[in-house]
Amino acid sequence: NPNNSYDEGFIYSHVGSAVVSDVFSGTGRKHKDVVAKIKKTLDFFIFK
C-alpha cells in the first residue's frame, strides 16, 4: 500500500499461515492469543 507511513527503523511484513505456524512452533504460544493481547494492551509483544 503506497499510503503507509514510513519509519526507517521499522520493518513490516505480510506472511501467510504457514510462516505464522513456523514462527510460533515450539513457543508454547498461540498466534490468536498474542494478537488478542496486543489489541487489548495496544503494546508490542516480545517472546522471552
Report the pLDDT value the prediction gives residue 40, as an integer from 0 to 100: 92
Which pLDDT value is given to residue 1?
60
Question: Rounded to an integer, what distance in angstroms lies between the CA atom of residue 11 and that of residue 4?
Answer: 12
* pLDDT at residue 3 in the model: 72
Q: What are phi and psi of 13, to 5 degrees?
A: -145, 140
The pLDDT tens digits of the residues spanning 8-46 come to 888 878 899 999 999 999 999 999 999 999 999 998 888
pLDDT value for 12: 79
Is pLDDT at 48 greater than 70 in this prediction?
yes
Model pTM greater than 0.85? Answer: no
